[in-house]
Structure 1
């Protein structure tokens, strides 16, 4: 989730345009919905006699519904904050525009929703803004990094996570993941699988997450924690939800660990899309159908 300083100017312009287009879409949709509602209401309440029609509001007036306080349509504070933040930021987010668009398509359909992100970085405000009205939570391995980001963006909800794995253990852990205790669906807190993360805040386990993004912890050198446990726990949370399905995204699948573990633990049968270095899986609840195999 940390930023990379490559081509900051070009991607910065693209992201600004992207956010303004997204804003324009929301504004037009809201305006259309309101116009349709008010025109229908006016026709039903007032006869065709023009003398009975209310005085047309001045251009500067806010639209008024009958017996309600006047309201104005404006962008959400989170979106406004995001626009200003990225317009003045000279750091390139780690995901490309095409990779971000994969998650955006799902958020457009599901937000406001519950969105869990493994990793905290310069793109975190973007995810929070795109999930306006929902709950977006970030899990980060580096305490000092959390403090640094919180000083810049105090509104973000983030928690510190301790990982006890190393990238060098990946092959051993992948073999362990095939054992029965790792195929059993349940609350990660009580799982007997060594890959399950058990030290997260209780509310992280109690919430049913609609989207989970695995873009951390660090995994690009041998001594790093690697994303083996994060990928496994994301899949276990998705399978253990009461009903419905969870969209799980894994970034950096060009690396060996992310490639192998996402295919094995999130299952190629649940794979919906890959764009660049990001994969999108849709995992259904395993509690709604008895005997459902770990992978289809």
Structure 2
């Protein structure tokens, strides 16, 4: 009887054990499937990231690209020059060929110190071509200086007094042969009749990189002539301590400009 009573109990225990084993198997299988699915998602995500990275050029594989240009304004001096020359019918006194000679040198040296004998319709052009440098104009006509200053107040100009005349050119070149005229020294204390005095000290003390002689008037006998301007440009050019000065003389097709340039420059 005892053995008969125990048999059903043992059977139940075995069935319950199998059930729990089956339940554990189901749980284990479900967990395994979830883990595999997560790994697949990660793998896909990883592959996607790798593919995306492949599409992006590496810094080593690609040369550096130029940065985006910044938005900058046109310098005021250049803007003023453009507006001035576009709205006027007056052209500079020098021809394109003549201007090109000076502008090629100015292109290499600018920004620099640029001294010009004469204040004219091309003055704003020279000032603009020397953007960032210092351009100074020396003018014989006070009235003309005032007119230009009203229209172009940014230009730096000074009045010059000439006491010579074109008909004195032969006499002046003879005086230029005197020993005290041949000496290169401070124009302010020179005894030479050809030297120009009365400028602000800053004009004499500055080392000019370019000097242009395009004044004073020199086309008739009673005009001042450019004898003094050429000689003074010589002193300023040779008086500097470092570097060199380029001197340009306009109207060298005229006798005096040609003769004095060859003699003193």
TM range (shorter): 0.7 to 0.9
Equivalent residue for 2:59, pick from 48, 59, 67:
48
Local SS of the residue matching 2:107: helix
Which deviates the most, 77-86 or 222-231? 77-86
C-alpha offsets along residues 154-187 of structure 1, whole Å, 9 cap, x if unaligned?
A: 1000000001111111000011111111110111
Partner of 1:229: 228
Partner of 1:177: 176
Distance 1:48 1:104 in 2: 43
Q: Give 1 or 2: higher strand fraction.
A: 1
1:94 aligns with 2:105: no
Distance 1:194 1:259 in 2: 20
Distance 1:262 1:136 in 2: 22
Matches within 5 A, 1:1-12: none
Structure 1 regions of 5+ residues with no counterpart?
A: 1-45, 64-70, 267-296
Matches within 5 A, 1:31-70: 48=59, 63=69
| CA positional deviation for 1:130 | 0.1
Q: Give 1 or 2: higher helix fraction.
A: 2
Distance 1:48 1:130 in 2: 41
Structure 2 regions of 5+ residues with no counterpart?
A: 1-56
C-alpha offsets along residues 108-145 of structure 1, whole Å, 9 cap, x if unaligned?
A: 10000000000001100000000000000000000000
Kindly report structure 1 stretches of 4+ aligned residues shifted beyond 6 Å.
none
TM-score normalised according to structure 1 size:
0.67
RMSD: 2.0
Distance 1:176 1:195 in 2: 8
Local SS of the residue matching 1:245: coil
| CA positional deviation for 1:80 | 1.3
Distance 2:214 2:58 in 1: 58
Local SS of the residue matching 1:128: helix
1:217 aligns with 2:192: no
Give the total of aligned pairs: 207
Distance 1:81 1:240 in 2: 34
TM-score normalised according to structure 2 size:
0.74
Partner of 1:197: 196
Matches within 5 A, 1:1-296: 48=59, 63=69, 71-266=70-265
Distance 1:47 1:163 in 2: 71
Local SS of the residue matching 2:174: helix
Distance 2:114 2:165 in 1: 26
Local SS of the residue matching 1:212: strand
Q: For the pair shown, which has the larger CA radius of gyration, 1 or 2? A: 2
